[in-house]
Structure 1
């Protein structure tokens, strides 16, 4: 049987994630990997989770832990998130929170909720590969979101053609893949643009907690609430995650936004998987309540050290003509090589001769451009691995000039 003859047309837009494919290389012990944005498993609060799961399976709570539950999510966890949102300047209630299976599921739901075929999604150039993967299934067109320019709302609307602009998607803190952060003026400009276009703003806050230096900036949603007075009057949807702070394998994230949107997303959740794993939510709630701040402080200290090792190694080993970002947080450094160098071809050569993995940058561009860029992750590497890997990569790049 030729299954492709009966697949929906949207499947033509769904491609394998280059990052997911590269993660398979981690099983090869001689590979130095700067590819996946993977937390260091040695930093997981494993003992705390052992106790949390044991408590969840106790005689008084095991029925709750193992039974079906409400689609909105485990109430004590949503209440903890309400408190965390308040600390960020986002006053809200439990009804403004939906628990999702990681923030990736939130992006999929928002694409499904907001996009009709031919509508326009405004995204960074580059932007998070997983967001493009989530949105692609709903057959949008993409336009470049660049808050540094004064491009008018009218120009965006005209470019959308017969469809309409539906949302602006961005990671405002230590963005994946570039590591860059939007300053206060650019955050305000995005709200102005969204108001003018009457569109949603999807604020991907996966790395918001991982600031290592510099002054923290309030989220876009917090700024919009300051303007409009109530989260239910706001167009910004804040997508949070425990994957980069506590444990990615439990797949627990959340969306915080206007109740009308959350109510509609609950219907999507009911149709997709009924609810996220209750026992995982219970464990996350227990560990977050007991040690979220102290654990985040611990991992921030470790990742800061690794970022500095990578920046120093790049200074030492990269040839002239290569530039890179200097992120204040997160997990990534973004490299730009001279025009004409194809980083996808460079990766193939690197895996063959240097045994160093990275992510070619073209995967993060909606139009497949950026072939002379690459993303490096420092979160799951040690000092010797970073020094040796960047040394090998610098040697390879020098030979490509």
Structure 2
């Protein structure tokens, strides 16, 4: 029998199973109240609109092109729609600045491949999106913490050099971040761009939750600020990653990257070597639904998720014991909970599933250094308001018992 571990590439040692993907299996258990999966509610999908879209794509003259190979850059009508939509956020670009990917997760993998050599350093927030760490890990980077007060460009360069590489990019999700639900303030976005200028690195802006604002004042995307500072997208250093997964449908796996053309050209080459192009028929269906239903769909999900967020924040106020703290997001799908330091959230999850039938994601998964064992992520997107009240009451009772 072949010793597979002996022949795997060294990078395979850094590939780990996603705690979140494993926890999604709990959704199939009817007695579990799950706050684990950060996924959209399927009851809110625009199913009829997609049924109509696929029928039109396959029933007319577009059927052949929908089932055929296509260009790697992406479906032109979809990129034209994105150009108009992004313009509303202050992102002025051509369609040649837009590249379609198989979900924004593929975009993160491609960007890791494009920028990271073994030993290089990626600057990430702490905590940060687990999927980004998984995408980057295969390219054997080191991580340094983004957003630490009083860090100088020289300190980042020195730390990266000590690990045998260079600082290659800063990655963050600035709006209603996964996992914390927090939003980066306007002045902090400007400081980040200044830091990136001084370090001479790109900024990867993960905007998966851009459209899911429920209250508060909107903050311009980092790319929009960069364009305003630089005068043109071709002079910017920000790479904007977006997705239709949280607004229309995740199963179609349609995401996109917006950046200066030299970056887009390299990403196209990577895609040609990887999977040639994203699904033609899915891009056509997304374009059809976006053109006709996007605004109404976003309004519908905002209303539903806002009510669930409010229900979770109110339940946390009622049922969490003293010494527990949590974020109060203005949008997105997540609330981040910090427990008293004596509680390990991973051990708590095991007891919670067994005794209270409540699932969540332990916070350690979102830290590159696996720190902060006393944190956890709650998602409210797929739970009804009565389920949220019941589940948070159960969880609060369990945490209180751990402290007694």
- 1:112-131 residue pairs with structure 2 within 5 A? 112-131=113-132
Report the CA distance between 1:150 and its aligned residue.
Answer: 3.0
Structure 1 partner of 2:386: 384
Structure 2 partner of 1:301: 303
Structure 2 partner of 1:106: 107
Q: Does 1:167 align with 2:169?
A: yes
* SS of 1:57 mapped into structure 2: helix
Structure 1 partner of 2:30: 29
Q: 1:275 aligns with which of 270, 274, 277?
A: 277
TM-score by length of 2: 0.98
Number of aligned positions between the proteins: 400
Mapped to 2, the partners of 1:193 and 1:58 lie a distance apart of 52
Mapped to 2, the partners of 1:61 and 1:251 lie a distance apart of 20
Q: 1:263 aligns with which of 259, 262, 265?
A: 265
- 1:366-385 residue pairs with structure 2 within 5 A? 366-385=368-387
Mapped to 2, the partners of 1:61 and 1:111 lie a distance apart of 35
Q: 1:203 aligns with which of 202, 205, 209?
A: 205
* SS of 1:232 mapped into structure 2: helix
Report the CA distance between 1:326 and its aligned residue.
Answer: 0.3
Report the CA distance between 1:384 and its aligned residue.
Answer: 1.1
TM-score by length of 1: 0.99
Structure 2 partner of 1:71: 72
Structure 1 partner of 2:96: 95
Mapped to 1, the partners of 2:205 and 2:299 lie a distance apart of 23
Structure 1 partner of 2:194: 192
Structure 2 partner of 1:242: 244
Mapped to 2, the partners of 1:123 and 1:400 lie a distance apart of 32
- 1:122-141 residue pairs with structure 2 within 5 A? 122-141=123-142
- 4+ residue runs over 4 A deviation: none
CA RMSD of aligned residues (A): 0.7
* SS of 2:304 mapped into structure 1: helix
Report the CA distance between 1:85 and its aligned residue.
Answer: 1.2
* SS of 1:196 mapped into structure 2: helix
Q: 2:335 aligns with which of 327, 333, 336?
A: 333
Report the CA distance between 1:146 and its aligned residue.
Answer: 0.8
* SS of 1:36 mapped into structure 2: coil
Report the CA distance between 1:338 and its aligned residue.
Answer: 0.9
* SS of 1:328 mapped into structure 2: coil
Q: Does 1:54 align with 2:55?
A: yes
Report the CA distance between 1:321 and its aligned residue.
Answer: 0.3
Q: Does 1:9 align with 2:10?
A: yes
Structure 2: state its 5+ residue gaps. Answer: none
Structure 1: state its 5+ residue gaps. Answer: none
Mapped to 1, the partners of 2:39 and 2:200 lie a distance apart of 36
